[in-house]
Chain A
């Protein structure tokens, strides 16, 4: 083997990569990607069945809320080590330093995976003050989801801009206790006071020499449902020169076989925010996710319909193969994609939508009442 090839293979092996080829799981994932792309080439792009869509929509907001909750606690943790002299710092000094920090912004990547290999990854910017937290999750350079937590009102609001829905949740007394502005002190006591942490030594993180700390107490993580958390490992990395936090990584295992990994990095400290920056901004036409309803049609071959058995559209008389001409009396000639159709047809449960369809030579009109979402 020539030296160049030997060097290349040696480097790959040193990084745990087999130079001979892809791993089995990579092969499977690549094969799936090829399958999906081939299918897409053969058929018109469409969306999944409405019941699957309903499940995803539901779970996505739930997941975002869960991700936000993990974030809140981790931020509290983030405030523990901003002071100088990490190795010898007195707890009182740490607590004092916490009180000095008014706000910060940092980047975050949250990855949640389940045993069935479904992975959801969210990239976001998180804005934090002692009074509120806001997280903006980006997709295609646009804010797709937002989560606001206002401590004074004990409210967590999640907004899904892609579906124009939102959800508001009340935080319990117990949740509030953990995310209240004074609680970092409690966490300092919890972690440093009892000495329940491990030093990870020094390492280059993001090109900076940093010192690491690890602790495993799950009380450091806020959760809506504590019992679901099996274990939590939090690692903090602090720049040894500036004593500022560089990176936080939180790995949680939940007992429903879901793992969540949160990486926060590149914080900016003491940033100025507009006064209303942390107030949830929900446009008037957005619907509470609980109020959203479905008519039970598959839009995959829009404007040709396929009904979901037992749901409102079928009950109203819509049949497989009906071709939509009008929605609520308006022509659909400019609604080309199933995504646009989804927006047009979605709305509150209990409200009605009128579909004019072509069935063979007949033109028929149906009034369909949206059904409420159920789990």
Chain B
């Protein structure tokens, strides 16, 4: 709760146009936001420019944000829209990744080793973009499924399904990479 309370205060100060509050917000989120934007299927857009653009929108629109508690979801939604808008703008052939909702049971989530972040990062990069996105939000922001659904703009069922298959692919990818390493040794 400590983080939520602090965030709420900062967002209120931002709404009042306080410069240092924007700077605090930027420091708090920029590293993770950058990690997320880099993980999206962005089709070669400039990440630095996109991040600037995201913060510009935050600056311009924060007074429209009714509930400071949902700032994180709001921020990531802006980020996602910016990336895909730019992608679509320059791309008449762009198709957004397809939906893949398949019912899964709640108790069957694949397990994998989270202790080696470098391996996990490498494996994450090999996943399908939609899978990579939901896992990234879950890993870096510890977002609950409903929040991820709000960012991505789909149902909670779709998120559950994507996370299930994403974790399965992640485990397979990590096993594959382990196998490759052993071969080299």
Q: Interface on A for B, CB 8 Å cutoff?
A: 3-4, 6-15, 17-22, 26-27, 29-31, 33-34, 37-38, 105, 107, 109, 111, 119, 121, 123-125, 138, 140-141, 204, 206-207, 263, 265-266, 268
Contacts and interface: CB of A to CB of B under 8 A. Distances in A.
B46 interface: yes
A3 B114 contact: yes
A13 B92 CA distance: 35
Contacts of A19: 31-32
B56 A37 contact: yes
Given A37-B60, A268-B93, A11 B31 contact: no
B117 A18 contact: no
Contacts of A119: 46, 49
Given A33-B55, A204-B125, A204-B126, A22 B30 contact: yes
Interface of B is mostly: helix
B52 to A, nearest CB: 6
Nearest to A25: B48
Nearest to B120: A11
B145 interface: no
Given A30-B55, A138-B89, A140-B89, 4 more contacts: A34-B22, A107-B91, A206-B41, A263-B44
Given A22-B30, A207-B128, A125 B140 contact: no
B19 A34 contact: yes
B23 A17 contact: no
Contact of B90 (A17, A105, A125): A125
**Nearest 7 A/B pairs, CB to CB:** A10-B117, A123-B90, A14-B121, A22-B30, A21-B27, A14-B118, A263-B44
A18 B128 CA distance: 25
Nearest to B45: A109
A27 to B, nearest CB: 8
B129 interface: yes
B142 to A, nearest CB: 5
A45 to B, nearest CB: 13
A30 B44 CA distance: 22
Contacts of A4: 142
B122 to A, nearest CB: 7
Interface string B14-28: 000001001100111
Contacts of A141: 89
B123 to A, nearest CB: 11
19 contacts: A4-B142, A7-B117, A9-B117, A11-B120, A12-B31, A14-B118, A15-B35, A33-B59, A105-B93, A107-B43, A123-B90, A124-B90, A125-B90, A138-B89, A204-B126, A207-B128, A207-B129, A265-B44, A266-B91
Contacts of B90: 107, 109, 123-125, 138
Contacts of A109: 44-46, 90
Nearest to A261: B46
Contacts of B120: 7, 10-11, 14
Nearest to B59: A37
Interface of B: 19, 22-23, 26-28, 30-32, 34-35, 38, 41, 43-46, 48-49, 51-52, 55-56, 59-60, 86, 89-93, 114, 117-118, 120-122, 124-126, 128-129, 139-142
B36 to A, nearest CB: 10
A121 B93 CA distance: 20
Nearest to B135: A11
B119 to A, nearest CB: 9
Contacts of A3: 114
A108 to B, nearest CB: 8
Contacts of A10: 117-118, 120-121
Contacts of A38: 19
B32 A8 contact: yes
Contacts of B141: 8
A306 to B, nearest CB: 28
B52 A8 contact: no
Contacts of A124: 90
Contacts of A20: 31
